[in-house]
Amino acid sequence: MVKIFEKSQIPLPSTLSRRQLLTALLPSAIGLSLGSIPFQASSQPLRATLSSATQGIPDPTAYTLLVAAPGLPSQERWKQILLSALKETLPGGDIQASAVPGQDGVSGANQFDTRPENSSHTALLVPGSAIIAALAGDPRVHFDFGRWIPIFKSLTNCVVVGPQALQHPLQARFRKHSFKVAVSTYIGAELPTLLALHLLNFTPLPIVGMGNVDEAVKALLNREVDIIQMDSKHYADHQDEISKAGFGALFSFNATADTRAIPTFSQKYIVERNHPPQGLLYEGWQSLASATTLETACVMPMLTPPQEIAQWRHAINRLLQSQEVVTMAKENFLTLQSLKESNDASFNIMQPSLSAQLAIKRWLTPLLSEWK
């Protein structure tokens, strides 16, 4: 007997929408199209695209020590010492030095400050001459050393040498007297000596092209110049021949063990002027003198993560415990500092007030035209 179903009881397939139909057919269509294309050929452009896209991304484990003014002997010496220590201490030990040519470090400091804010693992090894250029208003300067975090400094002391007659309280006949001063450039490392003589009521006449200490000493002994500036190590080396020729130390920039018998500039000023030095130009002199005594500094960008700063400082601390480094510093009359505080007092001295900076430029600008 045939059972008859009512129309409403017969199961009918549900109606497929256009979207559902396309969705069901799409995988099959893709499979058919890919089946006719060799995989090796299609993967080559993808690899090339990925490779080119990652070329600009820095290696997160690589470190860079940017060396400004690599031609300076002190910069080369500290580059070798720091690289050796950092390779042993930094995570991964992958660190390379990148030299930026230049005589005073300005080019290297400019390049350091123009690196992207997110470029990590980079430190700058910079001499104090770059900071002197900034304080003097050198138009080449485009960096802001106030945004640097110092993690290491090598400090020396400077001695100003001149006729022995100037070692004693000056007589009236020396007032406003002109003295020829050996300098490397008009706004080089000897700039604080020129300003100091001005504050002592002398008229300095810079003789350019004598940045080399041996050349300056030779010019002094030959009476081609009256006054020279040298670090305390070179002064100790040449003291005997300088003294025999009738010259001696007039003052030093700082009170250190190796210059204990030499008055500081402030002490010399009190003797000559009967009152302590003060005023905006003296503040400017302190900044210039502090920069001159900075043999070199290792600094990092302001936005460097604290953990990375701690890693570099740990490496520096271990370095300063090395007997070899301690001996080298002692032989060269150097004071080495690993800075645990980002706000280092002596580094801050190099940053005078805006009024003091303007005072330096007001003093220097007319003299540059006159000297040249």
Contact yes or no for 75/67 (Cβ under 8 A): yes
SS3 for the chain is CCCCCCHHHCCCCCCCCHHHHHHHHHHHHHHHHHHCCCHHHHHHHHHHHHHHHHCCCCCCCCEEEEEECCCCHHHHHHHHHHHHHHHHHCCCCCEEEEEECCCCCHHHHHHHHCCCCCCCCEEEEECHHHHHHHHCCCCCCCCCHHHEEEEEEEECCEEEEEEHHHHCCCCHHHCCCEEEEECCCCCCCCHHHHHHHHHCCCEEEEECCCCCHHHHHHHHHCCCCCEEEEEHHHHHHHHHHHHHCCEEEEEECCCCHHHCCCCEHHHHHHHHHCCCCCCHHHHHHHHHHHHHCEEEEEEEECCCCHHHHHHHHHHHHHHHCCHHHHHHHHHCCCEEEECCCCCCHHHHHCCCCHHHHHHHHHHHHHHHHHHC
Contact yes or no for 188/138 (Cβ under 8 A): no
**Residue range 237-287, pLDDT digits in tens:** 999 999 999 999 999 999 887 788 899 999 999 988 889 999 999 999 999
User: Which pLDDT score, from 0 to 100, does residue 368 have?
Assistant: 93
User: Which pLDDT score, from 0 to 100, does residue 62 have?
Assistant: 80
Q: Which CATH architecture has domain 63-156+293-340?
A: 3-Layer(aba) Sandwich (3.40)
Q: Please list the residues that pair with 248 across neighbouring strands.
A: 162
For the chain, residues classed under CATH 3.40.190.10 are: 158-279
User: Which pLDDT score, from 0 to 100, does residue 34 have?
Assistant: 42
**Residue range 153-177, pLDDT digits in tens:** 999 999 999 998 887 776 545 566 8
Structure tokens at 81: 């010492």
* CATH class for the domain made up of 158-279: alpha beta
User: Which pLDDT score, from 0 to 100, does residue 256 have?
Assistant: 84
Question: Whole-model pTM above 0.75?
Answer: yes
User: Which pLDDT score, from 0 to 100, does residue 121 have?
Assistant: 84
Segments of the chain with pLDDT less than 50: 1-16, 18-19, 21-23, 26-43, 46-59, 118, 172, 342
User: Which pLDDT score, from 0 to 100, does residue 5 have?
Assistant: 42
User: Which pLDDT score, from 0 to 100, does residue 56 have?
Assistant: 44
For the chain, residues classed under CATH 3.40.190.150 are: 63-156+293-340
